Amino acid sequence: LSEGWACHASPRFEFCSNFAAVRDLTARCSATVVDVPIGLPEGKEVRAADELAKERLSRAGASTSSVFRTPPRSTIDASDKHEFQRRHREATGVGAGYPVWPILRLIRDVDCVLREDPAARPRVFEFHPEIAWRKLAKGRLFSKGSALGALQRLDLLDELNPGWRSALLELLGDTQIG
């Protein structure tokens, strides 16, 4: 949480157990951004946001593998990955990509909160992190899965707000693990 973007003071870090808690925590914020698809398609429909993200990454010479097809609404209450894949194939004609099942509960959580709370919708925005990183990097961006890519992203955050690391380390120091 911060008073604005880019932050001019150390941000406050919070961990939330679900999206309703995020909504409540950010109720006074003018914007909340999430790395989760907002607005689920019906059937074979492909969201314009997904196509635009692929196009922007491709134009930048980047891999588009981080952009997955947002699952149709008919799949989000599947009880296991097999039912999810079956429903996805029935709705779209193709199976879902690997990264979708592990985050389906997050997609479902955000979708449920925004459908039940229309007042929150105008301030909650979807964003694609790799597009944001590319814009910040102004040049070559190494893979987020590599040590060099992870360090590069940390350095970019330091350029924007030098105090963010100490705020995060303070929070993590207070966190019990195990």
Task: Give the pLDDT confidence of 6-56 residue by residue, as tens digits.
Answer: 666 667 778 899 999 999 999 998 899 999 999 999 999 999 999 999 998
At 129, give phi and psi (nearest 5°).
-55, -40
pLDDT band at 59 (very low <50, low <70, confident <90, very high): confident
pLDDT at 80 over 60: yes
Q: In the structure encoding, which two tokens stand for residue 122, read together?
A: 């105008």
Which positions ≥6 away from 26 have C-beta within 8 Å?
1, 32, 123
The reported pLDDT for the residue numbered 105 is: 95
The reported pLDDT for the residue numbered 19 is: 97
Q: Cβ–Cβ contacts within 10 Å for residue 88, how many?
A: 22
Of the chain, the percentage scoring pLDDT greater than 90 comes to 52
pLDDT at 71 over 60: yes
pLDDT at 134 over 90: no
pLDDT band at 91 (very low <50, low <70, confident <90, very high): very high
**What is the maximum span of the chain, computed from C-alpha positions, in angstroms?**
49
Average pLDDT over the chain, rounded to whole? 87
Q: Which residue has the higher pLDDT, 1 or 46?
A: 46
